[in-house]
Structure 1
Amino acid sequence: MFYLIFAACILPALVFSESGSHSLWVFATFLTGDSSVPFPEFTAVIMLDDIVIGHYNADERSFVPASAQESVNVTEQITISSVIKGIHEGMKTKAYHLIDYLNYTRGLHVQQRLAGCELLHDEPGQMMTLEAFNGESGFERRYNVQGDQHTHWNWPVIKSRAQLEYDAWLYANFYRPLCISQLRKYLKKKKQHVMARVKPRVRVFKRFCSETGVVQMTCLATGFYPRHINLTLLQDGQPVNEERITGGELLPNADGKYQMRKSVELSVKEQREKHTYTCTVTHLGLENKLDISIEPGPDPVIIVVPSVLLLLCVFGALVAFKIWRKRYTQPGQVIYMQASADQTIEQPQI
């Protein structure tokens, strides 16, 4: 649940690692204030790319692997637990300071932090920390490949200059090397999962609006892994203007794979201009680029009589015909007639 809170408030500011690279992130949430629901004060989830590898138990102050079968050595357990414990304490201090500074008195307050690092094609990349309070971003710190630091904040500074310089040294010389080291370890452990390649299933479809004559063309790619995909709609071999495209968000499927769709609307005039439209997809699971042509006009309307209904009609007619023939044309048929007491029953000769 708290991972979803993170996704809503912090992830829009995060650019995930590009294809061929990997990342290790800690998603942490600290809650304080009034709440009708007994939420835990602090939660943290550790993720390798998009795979949950464990969480932090705040009550026991320990790291818990996502899989019960996975063992964690004592050194690794102490190291990860100590780092996340420090995140917990730092977030608590900052949350209370912001509540006081912003003059908040009642309600539930949410302090969030995203911290992690990445490998760019097996080379150490940047380390990053992002923070948000009650959904508003306010702090950002990045260390790039060369070790240069970029720090930006909108909130009041609660530390002295000397403390800020010490934090910078600590991130550059301790947290970043430690994060890169753990990232490499987990890549070896989860190699089979992380390196999986599942190609997308791609289909195109159209929706016609009879009132306006507009045709919406959609290209859908689903069931692929990893998440990196390039899905493009082309007009006459050139990408359709992004302002005309709807969709394009990367969405998760229930099975851990992903989907993406993009749509474009064509007016009646554009349908008459005889442009060619193509959905093109590139993905690590595909050996070659996949191109699917889309006809711009509406699909023809075809009225189809179901074959089963047709067969039933034919069968019914045959049965009725046979009953009629048997009743009226069969030789020697006896027709019984009701008679009164003074009448005789005769068998007519046919």
Structure 2
Amino acid sequence: MMYLVLAVCILSASVFSQSGSHSLWVFATFLTGDISVQFPEFSAVVMLDDIVIGHYNADDRSFVPSTVQESVNITEQITISTVCKGIHEGMKTKAYYLIDYLNHTRGLHVQQRLVGCELLQNEPGQMMTLEAFNGESGFERRYDIQGDQQTHWKWPVIKSRAQLEYDAWLYAHFYRPLCINQLRKYLKKEKKRVMARVKPRVRVIQRTCSKTGKIQMTCLATGFYPRHINLTLLQDGQPVNEERVMGGELLPNADGTYQMRKSVELSAEEQRERRTYTCTVNHLSLDNKLDISIEPGLDPVIIFPSVLLLLCVFGVLAGFLMWRKKYKQPEQVTYTPTSATDQTTEQSQL
């Protein structure tokens, strides 16, 4: 649970929500004050996209991979352990300073740090650090693709100018290249898991409020992977006004897949207008977008654009067969076998 807030931050961060991008993150938490014996003072988890690679054991000051491997990469363990150790010491110093500055002398205090980098279409992208103390954001640093670095402080700066300049240089010329290099290694090692594709299960749910008579239509897409998805509600082919749409948050499932739902409420007057509403889903696992069209009070109709032509052909064929059955008179139908010596004539009513 301690990583839930950080996980939501990374999943909702717009910079890393693009399809075709991959990221490597360290989620770190430092606790001080009234700490339960169930939780360590410092903990950190390393994640490739949304796959847990391993965690940092603060007691042993070592990185522990999440899967048992035949051969352990000692250099990799030492590198990640050193980085996590530095994060631990930095967060500890800052936490005690903030407790004094904010006059938070009692209770449990939680400091969180999110630091990571990205590859966009296999090219180095941003590196970013976010920090929060007791649930409030206070520090942000971004190093973008062009090499520009932006730092925003909400808390007082506790370092000298020279120290800040050294930190900026270290961030750009040491931590970012190190992060990108490690990200490439993990992508190669975990390619099969990272490139997995699971199709979404989509359904439209209608609920009627007995008191107001309003209908709430909900489009639910669940069980998909990876997390990037485009779910849109349409009214007569046009996107529903965003102010009317409820939901839209990306949520994790227990099996490692994701879900998203969006809802819109229809008044009694809107129901009488007999408009058509469509739930449109685009996902990497789908060859074509998936449309589910529905009129309030009726069952949904699922339409794949790739089969529209086939539906038209079958519709014409079905119409022709119905006409033929209605107007054609009974006739003798001769079945011609493959063998000339084996012929059978059968009378059938068409």
Scaled by the length of structure 1, the TM-score of the pair is 0.82
Aligned residue in 1 for 2:98: 98
Is residue 130–residue 139 contact of structure 1 (8 Å, CA) maintained in 2? yes
* 1:199-210 matches, cutoff 5 A: 199-210=199-210
State, as a whole percentage, how many aligned pairs show the same letter.
Answer: 82
Structure 2 length normalisation: TM-score? 0.82
Corresponding position: 1:274 with 2:274: yes
Q: Relative to 1, partners in 2 of residues 1:12 and 1:200: Cα closer, same or farther, differing over 3 Å?
A: closer
For 1:114 and 1:167, the matched residues in 2 are separated by 17
How far the C-alpha of 1:34 sits from its partner, in A, is 2.0
2-side partners of 1:222 and 1:193: how far apart?
19
Structure 2: 5+ residue runs without aligned partners?
300-350
More off after superposition, 202-211 vs 118-127: 202-211
- Which residue of structure 1 aligns with residue 53 of structure 2? 53
Residue deviations 1:135-172 (CA, integer Å, cap 9, x gap): 11000000000110000011010100000000000010
Of the two, which has the highest radius of gyration? 1
| 1:123 partner letter | E
Partners of 2:232 and 2:65 in 1: CA distance: 39
Letter in 2 for 1:245: V
Corresponding residue for residue 75 of structure 1? 75
Pairwise CA distance, 1:38: 4.5
- The 1:227/1:4 distance shift into structure 2, 3 A limit, reads same
Aligned to 2:156: 156
What is the match of residue 13 of structure 2?
A: 14
Residues 12, 134 of structure 1: alpha-carbon distance in 2 compared, 3 angstrom cutoff: farther
Once the two structures are TM-superposed, the CA of residue 36 in structure 1 deviates from its matched residue by 4.6
SS at match of 1:2: coil
**What is the CA RMSD across the aligned residues, in angstroms?**
1.5
Matching residue's letter, 1:215: I
- Whole-angstrom distance in 1 between the partners of 2:241 and 2:261: 16
Deviation at 1:7, TM superposition (A): 3.9
- 1:214-261 CA-partner distances (Å, limit 9, x unpaired): 111111111110000001010011110111111111111111001111
How far is the alpha carbon of 1:2 from its aligned partner?
2.0
Letter in 2 for 1:242: E
Contact residue 230 and residue 281 of structure 1 kept, 8 A:
yes
Contact 1:25-1:116 at 8 Å conserved across structures: yes
Task: Count residues in correspondence.
Answer: 298
Q: Contact conserved, 2:205 with 2:219, CA < 8 A, in 1?
A: yes
Task: Out of 239-248 and 135-144, give the one that drifted further.
Answer: 239-248
The one-letter code of the counterpart of 1:261 is: R
Aligned to 2:284: 284
Kept in 2, the 8 Å contact 1:28–1:112? The answer is yes
Shift in Å, 1:111:
1.1
**CA–CA separation in structure 2 for the residues paired with 1:165 and 1:54:** 32
State the secondary structure of the residue aligned to 2:80.
Answer: helix
Mapping for residues 5-44 of structure 1, pairs under 5 Å: 5-7=5-7, 10-11=9-10, 14-15=13-14, 16-44=16-44
> SS where residue 211 of structure 2 aligns?
coil
